[in-house]
């Protein structure tokens, strides 16, 4: 615009999932001001769209390396303030948030426990979670919410995969990893996809100014969303034994350039994690209470594994079930249930080792888990992928069976989004 006004127009990508629901659930006022939208393609544009205000601030990823201690402090405190608002909302059901006018009345559940202004305008409707709509799952005749009872929600997650297996399931010839999760990994903040690419901050203060990419957002039970957001998680394998502020190494000044840069990065991540813990404990008591649940992480991991797309193996789901054995005393009566643990540890370790290798390849060629590549890197990624495959064929040393299996199971081949 000539007067400097800027707006963003968003249209759903072809594999974004339920185009109507994905569009309609992104116009909740908390997500930023919306100038206009259509969750139907019955318009002059011929597609669903949202016209909304441009995200204020700068991307966290672009300013991360220059973040001062003060700005890191402000970044953590501003996030906790946002989370506090969410944790204090008395949501009544599980599902995604919509304007009532966009959802049929038989697919609406009350927004809050008690009636109020927002409840007259908004409702909880079917989930826009990608896992309920991915590929052929979109065609399944299953219940996608809303759910008043959390147990019904968990049942629907399992029923979704059961129905998919009944209609499309088939044995896989290859048992090769396609999912990059490792033991204990979770995605706790389903209400906000908190990775650095989605966070915008004030260049002056460091406080969060905007969070983008809310599509597929779902209101879930507190014990399924509590945890540290990905951008604020612990960079170390072990949990700190106390709440002492992290420090740079004692020999920091004498470190060479690369080692000093690595020390700076680890310090920034530790400091952000430290501030997030401090502010969460002080300002967000409901979150702190949920974090104290003894089976919080294994429960989240199990639900995630049960509902995520399975590519040729149930090993990750079986691993989540096996891991619950360590929390048996916190579960309902399990006497008389036979455990199938023999040999599983070795199988699982092999699986995770393969995953590390696949993730290394992904990083090297510049491709994410879903196969997405940016336009400007596409040609280079294709070249690197071809080189990688050629090197693996050469390593097979003429073994026709190995080469055949490599070609059939090549994880970087072009494929339709049909699963």
In this structure, of 26-35, 81-90, 241-250, the range with the lowest mean pLDDT score is 26-35
**Residue 268 confidence (pLDDT) above 90:** yes
**Residue 317 confidence (pLDDT) above 90:** no
- In terms of DSSP H, where are the helices of 169-295? 222-225, 257-283, 285-291
pLDDT tens-digit readout, 135-176: 888 889 999 999 999 999 999 999 999 999 888 876 555 544
In the numeric block, which tokens belong to residue 387? 């080189």
The share of the chain scoring above pLDDT 70, in percent, equals 84
Alpha-carbon dihedral sign for residues 283, 285, 286, 288: positive
**Residue 297 confidence (pLDDT) above 80:** yes
**pLDDT value of residue 192:** 46
DSSP β-bridge partners for residue 112: 91
Are 130 and 20 spatial neighbours (Cβ–Cβ below 8 Å)?
Answer: no
Distance in angstroms (rounded) separating the CA atoms of residues 57 and 200: 5
Distance in angstroms (rounded) separating the CA atoms of residues 124 and 112: 9
| CA distance to 78, 114, 309, per residue, from 275 (Å) | 11, 34, 35
In the numeric block, which tokens belong to residue 183? 């033991």
Q: How confident is the model at residue 322 (pLDDT cuts 50, 70, 90)?
A: confident
Alpha-carbon dihedral sign for residues 337, 340, 341, 342: positive
**pLDDT value of residue 21:** 79
The residues spanned by each domain of the chain are 7-129+190-291
In this structure, of 1-10, 131-140, 153-162, 312-321, the range with the lowest mean pLDDT score is 1-10
Q: How confident is the model at residue 16 (pLDDT cuts 50, 70, 90)?
A: low
What value does the mean pLDDT take over residues 279-288?
93
Q: How confident is the model at residue 109 (pLDDT cuts 50, 70, 90)?
A: very high
pTM: 0.69
Distance in angstroms (rounded) separating the CA atoms of residues 189 and 233: 11
Name which residue leads in pLDDT, 149 or 345: 149
Distance in angstroms (rounded) separating the CA atoms of residues 390 and 396: 10
Name which residue leads in pLDDT, 194 or 110: 110
Distance in angstroms (rounded) separating the CA atoms of residues 91 and 111: 6
Distance in angstroms (rounded) separating the CA atoms of residues 380 and 388: 12
**Residue 74 confidence (pLDDT) above 80:** yes
**Residue 338 confidence (pLDDT) above 80:** no
**pLDDT value of residue 417:** 55
DSSP β-bridge partners for residue 91: 112
What value does the mean pLDDT take over residues 52-76?
89
pLDDT tens-digit readout, 210-230: 888 777 788 999 889 899 888
Q: How confident is the model at residue 325 (pLDDT cuts 50, 70, 90)?
A: confident
What value does the mean pLDDT take over residues 310-327?
78
In this structure, of 35-39, 66-70, 166-170, 184-188, the range with the lowest mean pLDDT score is 184-188
**pLDDT value of residue 212:** 80
In this structure, of 130-139, 187-196, 337-346, the range with the lowest mean pLDDT score is 187-196
Are 74 and 88 spatial neighbours (Cβ–Cβ below 8 Å)?
Answer: no
**Residue 178 confidence (pLDDT) above 50:** no
pLDDT tens-digit readout, 57-66: 888 888 888 8
CA 370, 131, 133: angle at the middle one, nearest 5?
A: 100
User: Crossing angle for the helix pair 315-323 and 296-307, nearest 10 degrees?
Assistant: 160
**Residue 34 confidence (pLDDT) above 50:** yes
Name which residue leads in pLDDT, 235 or 181: 235
**pLDDT value of residue 182:** 34
Name which residue leads in pLDDT, 107 or 195: 107
Average pLDDT, the chain: 81
**pLDDT value of residue 188:** 30
**pLDDT value of residue 179:** 42
């Amino acid at each position: 615009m000539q007067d400097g006004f800027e707006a963003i127009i968003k249209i759903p990508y072809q594999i974004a999932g339920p185009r109507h629901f994905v569009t309609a659930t992104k116009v909740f006022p908390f997500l930023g001001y919306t100038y206009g939208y259509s969750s139907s393609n019955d318009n002059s544009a011929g597609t669903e769209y949202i016209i909304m205000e441009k995200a204020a601030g700068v991307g966290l990823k672009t300013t991360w390396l220059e973040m001062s201690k003060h700005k890191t402090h402000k970044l953590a405190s501003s996030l906790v303030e946002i989370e506090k608002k969410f944790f204090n909302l008395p949501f009544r059901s599980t599902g995604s948030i919509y304007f009532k006018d966009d959802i049929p009345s038989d697919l609406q559940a009350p927004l809050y426990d008690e009636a109020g202004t927002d409840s007259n305008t908004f409702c909880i409707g079917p989930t826009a979670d990608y896992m309920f709509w991915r590929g052929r799952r979109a065609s399944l005749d299953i219940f996608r919410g809303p759910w008043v009872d959390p147990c019904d929600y968990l049942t629907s997650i399992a029923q979704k995969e059961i129905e998919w297996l009944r209609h499309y399931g088939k044995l896989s010839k290859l048992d090769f990893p396609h999912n990059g999760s490792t033991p204990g990994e979770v995605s706790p903040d389903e209400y906000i996809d908190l990775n650095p690419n989605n966070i915008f901050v004030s260049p002056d203060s460091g406080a969060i100014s905007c969070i983008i990419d809310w599509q597929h957002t779902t209101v879930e039970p507190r014990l399924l969303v509590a945890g540290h957001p990905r951008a604020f998680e612990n960079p170390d394998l072990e949990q700190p034994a106390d709440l002492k502020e992290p420090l740079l190494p004692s020999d920091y000044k004498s470190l060479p350039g690369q080692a000093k840069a690595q020390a700076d990065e680890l310090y920034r991540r530790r400091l952000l994690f430290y501030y997030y813990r401090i502010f969460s404990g002080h300002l967000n008591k409901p979150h702190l209470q949920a974090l104290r649940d003894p089976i919080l992480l294994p429960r989240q991991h199990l639900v995630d594994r049960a509902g995520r797309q399975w590519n040729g193996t149930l090993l990750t789901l079986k691993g989540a079930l096996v891991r619950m054995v360590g929390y048996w005393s916190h579960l309902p009566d399990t006497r008389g249930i036979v455990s199938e643990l023999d040999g599983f540890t070795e199988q699982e370790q092999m699986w995770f080792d393969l995953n590390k290798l696949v993730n290394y390849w992904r990083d090297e060629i510049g491709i994410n888990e879903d196969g997405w590549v940016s336009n400007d890197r596409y040609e280079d990624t294709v070249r690197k992928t071809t080189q990688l495959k050629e090197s693996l064929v050469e390593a097979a040393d003429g073994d026709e069976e190995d080469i055949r299996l490599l070609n059939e199971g090549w994880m970087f081949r072009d494929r339709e989004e049909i699963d």
